[in-house]
Amino acid sequence: MRYNWLKLLKEGFNNNSGWEKTWKNPELKKEYDVIIIGGGGHGLATAFYLAKEFNIKNIAVLEKKWIGGGNVGRNTTIIRSNYLLNENEAFYEFSLKLWESLEKQINYNAMVSQRGVLNVYHSDSQRDSFTRRGNSMIINGADAELYDVNKIKCYILF
């Protein structure tokens, strides 16, 4: 099935009754090559990467609620890489890069729309914490900028 604006429009007028089933609910196997706990953004990106780059097809993605929930559908609906630990930062930044080309590769509208996130601090300790996190992101190659109040005012005025 192809996903495009014409199909979205048509299904909007047909109460979304013409969509083919996209997700499978297979029987569990006794053995898997890889088991991924968590079917949010990072878990799904990991499964996709292993299948695409290493041809590993015997993968189980276990999620207690719904696939795609986690960080991309439940918590903040943000695919992000702004975590503090160096090892996590690299993993999450790599996952983020996978999401950037995912829709074209699988021909599925995952409704990814990249936006910025502005965190505003309310105390000196929060400022220090946010600055530490921002600097950690920058050191690890993530896209991050630290704004002071004057730069924020500049954006608000224009």
Where residue 45 falls among pLDDT bands split at 50, 70, 90? confident
pTM for the predicted model, two decimal places = 0.57
* pLDDT of 76 strictly over 60: no
For the residues of 44-99, what is the DSSP string, one character each? HHHHHHHHHHH----EEEE-SS-TT-IIIIIISS------SSHHHHHHHHHHHHHH
Confidence at residue 105, expressed as pLDDT on a 0 to 100 scale: 84
Q: Give CA angle at 157 (154, 155), nearest 5°.
A: 40
Decide: 63 and 118 in contact? Cβ < 8 Å.
no
